[in-house]
Amino acid sequence: MTTTNKNLFYFLLFLAMIGWGASWVNIKVLSNYLNEFETMFFRFFITAITMVPIIIFLKKSFRIDFKSFIWVFLTSITLIGYMKYFYLGTKYGTASLGGAFVTSLIPIITFLILAILGTKKITKKDLIALSLGAIGVMTMLDIWSFNLEEVLVIQNLYFILAALLWAIVTILSSKASNISPIVFTFYLYMVICILNIFFFVDLVSIDYSSLDSIFWVNMLVLSIGASTFSNTIYFLGIEKLGASEVSSFIFLVPFAAITLSGIFLNEVITPSIILGTFLTIIAVKILNNIKFPKKHK
């Protein structure tokens, strides 16, 4: 890949991470219009439709074997749980804390699950990183204020459950190695839509007249920006640049969520959220041996 193309990909990855960070703001706004399952259906239905031309353009096959479909089904159930708690935590809490807390905590929980399963071995370096991560998480929750009424609020539990479920989503989706990640994601979204229609959503009962321009702008940014665009660029980035290089961009997500929440939602960004996010990101960097891309002279 030429330097120009690489720089273009870096810029697109930057925009993709901004899109993921913005999703927390979008959900906060959308929670004023629809419940968690209705929001989920609209988001993933629009995303799945817009993914079709991308899959065709990239010449990916829509074929899926039975084993991969089983992983799609299991992952979709887990992702529904994640979206439920992602929505509830953001609705009753703040988008800034959710975006910083959940996205920073996910890699740590994923590492711990893999360690428990015996896939990862915990070294001294890992113990230091996990300890630092724990301090970062507690700092974000402002536990050092020793005010249990503020720490033990329901939205913090929702955020923890969301991080746990997304870690499981990450592990389950990695099992489907015989299918393109983009195609896997397409079927994942389609199955979620079908499950929502059968069990959770009554499209007839929705008050469509209340869905104004603010709703549709946020829904389209969430569906096409945060999902279709960001996911596609992320997967292509892994193919073109490698997973280790692309992973470093993930650290932009919590800061994007914090910044955009302050700008569009007028949320108060506390020093504890910023400091806790820094500490947790350092912990994740140590755990995953992530190196930030450097410019070659």
Domain ranges, residue 27:
3-288
187 domain-assigned: yes
Distances (CA, A) of 184 to 14, 71, 77, 82, 152: 23, 9, 14, 18, 37
295 domain-assigned: no
294 domain-assigned: no
What is this structure's pTM? 0.89
Checking if the pLDDT of 121 tops 50, the result is: yes
State the total domains in the chain: 1
70 domain-assigned: yes
User: pLDDT band for position 129 (50/70/90)?
Assistant: confident
105 domain-assigned: yes
User: pLDDT band for position 284 (50/70/90)?
Assistant: confident
297 domain-assigned: no
Which pLDDT score is estimated for 296? 47
Nearest Cα neighbor of 192 from 76, 94, 29 is: 76
Report the alpha-carbon distance of residue 285 to residue 133 in Å, rounded.
Answer: 10
Checking if the pLDDT of 142 tops 90, the result is: no
69 domain-assigned: yes
Q: Contacts for 272-276 with beta carbons within 8 Å, 24 or more apart?
A: 272/139, 272/140, 272/141, 272/142, 272/144, 273/96, 273/97, 273/100, 273/101, 273/140, 275/136, 275/139, 276/100, 276/101, 276/104, 276/136, 276/137, 276/138, 276/139, 276/140, 276/141
Helices (H), the chain: 3-30, 36-57, 66-92, 95-116, 124-140, 148-151, 154-173, 181-199, 213-220, 230-241, 243-247, 252-264, 271-288
